[in-house]
Structure 1
Amino acid sequence: MKLDILAFGAHPDDVELGCGATLAKEIAAGKKVGIIDLTRGELGTRGTAETRDEESEAASRILGASIRLNMEFADGFFINDRHHQLEIIKIIRTYQPEIVLCNAIKDRHIDHGKGSQLVSDACFLSGLLKIDTKFDEDDDTWQDPWRPKQVYHYIQWQPIEPDFVVDVSEFMDKKLDAVMAYKTQFYDPKSKAPETPISSKNFTESITYRAKDLGRLVGVAYGEGFTVERYPVVNSLFDIK
């Protein structure tokens, strides 16, 4: 299956938090979108790998993603090396996305920056003819090279000035529904689990007010921001809103 957009996150819930409304908007417009989680979030203080598997499936259904896969890399300990790059290359060549979205280039959690660079490097390497891959070792055919046209990085915990903002005003409710599908991770006054930086009521409220503030800056109700690896190109000054 060829996808229009492939969104990567170091942990289940990264994609929903970083670009969930953007994905919901593109899916509503008829684009085919896939989500790839690098780890199962097994080192997280709250919940388990199994509960996060269930929660990510629920979130995917809410967003309407065409596929969701988990690479099962080691939470906290995966690295940007040949082995991990090749695994990501196989995914990119299988789904041939036009656009890849990935973690913030730097952030509070060490996996976010690592995941960002790993996916970015794999996107470049995936276009090289002399790197041979098969999606499965039992496959009879080698994969064709494929390099996404664009790699964009969503913004996470650490405030980073975006290079562009997507108007997601009509899709914030769906984003919030997808985020809150991760019932073990976010604010729940009845939960007895240990507190974490993302389990507070303030963090849950920040999802909305940060999107509202970005929207304010660009003249819409809500926005999601992204950074770029190369300059965007437009055909006309009138393409820029």
Structure 2
Amino acid sequence: MKLDILVFGSHPDDAELGAGATIAKEVAAGKKVGIIDLTRGELGTRGTAEIRDAEATEAAKILGVSLRENLEFADGFFVNDRDHQLAIIRILRKYRPEIVLCNAVEDRHIDHAKGSKLVSDACFLSGLVKIDTKFEGDDNWQDPWRPKQVYHYIQWKNLKPDFVVDVSGYIEKKIEAIHAYSSQFYDPASKEPQTPISSKNFTDSVEYRARDLGRLIGTDHAEGFTVERPVAVASLYHLI
């Protein structure tokens, strides 16, 4: 299966929190979108890896993505080295996305910036013809593939976006997908320990950040992204 967009997250729920409405909008437009979770979030204070597996599956159904897979890297301890890069290169060459979305370049959780750089480096290396890879269970050598663009969504920190996507009409789908992770977010009846993302303030911030970014561009809601290199457009009118 060739994908149009492949979204990477260091943990289950990263993709939804950072780009859930954009994902839902692109799926509604007929684009084939996949999500790759680098870890199972097994070090999370609340819930378990098994619970988060089930939650991620449910969130994927809500967003309507074509696939969701987990590379099962070690939560908190994965590194940007050859083995981890090759695992991502195999995924990139298998699904050949035009666009990759990945974690914030800077954030509160150390895995977010690590995951961001790891995926970005793998996207470059995936285009090199002298790196040979085979996907598990396939005897054929993979062809090189480099996505046209790598964009980074915004997470805990209020980074300044390089561009924003109008997601008016899709914020409800994003919130629904986030609520699929019932073990992680605000629940007044929960007996689990409190975390920075389990407060009502955090859950509310997902909507009011989108509303604020939308305000800046004259729409109801928007999601922001940062870029690694200038984005080319054929006409000034493509920026409207």
Give the 5 Å matches for 1:1-241. Answer: 1-136=1-136, 138-241=137-240
CA positional deviation for 1:70: 0.2
CA deviations over 1:119-151 (Å, ceiling 9, x no partner): 000000000000000011x42210000000000
Q: Structure 1: give runs of 5+ residues left out of the alignment.
A: none
Q: Structure 2: give runs of 5+ residues left out of the alignment.
A: none
Moved over 3 A (4+): none
Partner letter of residue 142 of structure 2? Q
| SS of match in other structure, 1:232 | coil
In 1, the alpha carbon distance for the partners of 2:60 and 2:29 equals: 17
CA deviations over 1:190-223 (Å, ceiling 9, x no partner): 0000000000000000000000000111111100
- Paired residues in the alignment total 240
In 2, the alpha carbon distance for the partners of 1:239 and 1:205 equals: 32
In 1, the alpha carbon distance for the partners of 2:14 and 2:138 equals: 32
In 1, the alpha carbon distance for the partners of 2:32 and 2:236 equals: 28
* TM-score of the superposed pair, with normalisation by structure 1: 0.99
| SS of match in other structure, 1:44 | coil
| SS of match in other structure, 2:201 | helix
Partner letter of residue 186 of structure 2? Y
In 1, the alpha carbon distance for the partners of 2:89 and 2:119 equals: 9
In 2, the alpha carbon distance for the partners of 1:139 and 1:46 equals: 37
After superposing the two structures, state which structure 1 stretch, 107-116 or 228-237, moved more.
228-237
Overall identity of the aligned pairs, in % = 73
Partner letter of residue 188 of structure 1? D
Instruction: Output the aligned Cα RMSD.
Output: 0.5
In 1, the alpha carbon distance for the partners of 2:51 and 2:62 equals: 17
In 1, the alpha carbon distance for the partners of 2:27 and 2:7 equals: 12
Partner letter of residue 164 of structure 2? V
